Amino acid sequence: MPAKKDIFKKVLLPCALLILLVLHAFLVDVGWKGSETKNQYKVVPKLNLPWMKFISLDQDRFASLLLSLYLLSARPVDCYEWDYKGMLNYMRVITRLDPYNKGPFFFAVYFMSYRTDSDGRLIFNYLEEAQDKFPDDWKLPWQVSYVAKIKFKDNDLAYQYALKAANAPYAPPIVKILPAILKRNLGDRESAVAYLTTLRDHSKDPKEIEPIDEELQRLSRGSLPK
C-alpha cells in the first residue's frame, strides 16, 4: 500500500498538474476570444494628428489649435475602444473654453457616428448644444440629419434635423426641400406636399422656387428618384 501511495504522489500529481496547465492554456484562449467577440467595438482607429488638424485648423484660431493639443494629450492612449462619455466630456471642455469653435461638433458628426448603440447616440445630446450656439448654421444639422438617416436609420431624427437645417437662413434650396424628400421616401406624400406648398408660398427667390416646383411635380407624378 505505501508503494502505491508513493506512485500516486510521485507520478499522478505532476501528471494532473500538467493536464491542468494545458487546460488552463486552452481556457485562457477561449476566455479572451469570448470577450473579444462580445466587445464588437474592440478595434477602432486611434486619434491622430490629421484628425486633430480637422478640429484645430478649420477656423485658423490659435485657441482651437491649443485646445486640440489638450484633446490630443487627453486621448485614451492606445485604447481598444473609445470611451464616448469621456471623449464628449473633453469636447465639452473645448467648447466651453472656445464657445465658437465648431470643430468639435463636426468631429462628433464625422468620427463619433460609427457606433449606433446607446453610447453612440450620446453625440445627439452634444450636437443639441451646437444648435444653441449656432442657430443660423445649416451645415451642422444637415450633416447630422445625414448621419441619423444613414448610420442610425432613425428617420424621425433625420427629419427633425433636416427641418432645423431648412429653417436656417442662407440654407441652399436643396437643403430647404430636404424634409420633403425625407417624408416622401417614408411614403408620407401628403406631408411632403404640404411642406413644399407652404415653402413655395413663403418664397420669393426664383432659385428656390424652381427646385420646389420640380419636387412638387415629382410628387404629383409619383416617381421616386433616388
24 near another protein, judged by CB under 8 A: yes
Convert residues 150-189 into a mask of x (bound to another protein by CB under 8 A) and - (unbound). Answer: ----------------------------------------
Selected range binding another protein among 26-34, 57-65, 145-153, 198-206, rule: CB under 8 A: 26-34
Selected range binding another protein among 13-21, 62-70, 154-162, 206-214, rule: CB under 8 A: 13-21
> According to CB under 8 A, which one of 7, 11, 25, 194 is a site residue for another protein?
25
28 near another protein, judged by CB under 8 A: yes
Torsion of CA 151, 52, 93, 80, to 10 degrees: 60
Selected range binding another protein among 8-16, 99-107, 152-160, 197-205, rule: CB under 8 A: 8-16
Selected range binding another protein among 20-28, 137-145, 152-160, 205-213, rule: CB under 8 A: 20-28
Distance CA 139, CA 171 (A): 8
Give ∠ CA 50-136-172 in degrees, rounded to 5: 85
What's the min distance (Å) between Cβ of 215 and another protein? 43
- Read off the C-alpha cell for 197: 406648398
Q: Is 32 or 114 the residue whose CB approaches another protein more closely?
A: 32
Distance CA 107, CA 10 (A): 65
Distance CA 172, CA 119 (A): 32
Residues that bind another protein (CB under 8 A): 9, 13-14, 16-17, 20-21, 23-25, 27-28, 30-32, 34-35, 85-86, 89-90, 92-93, 119
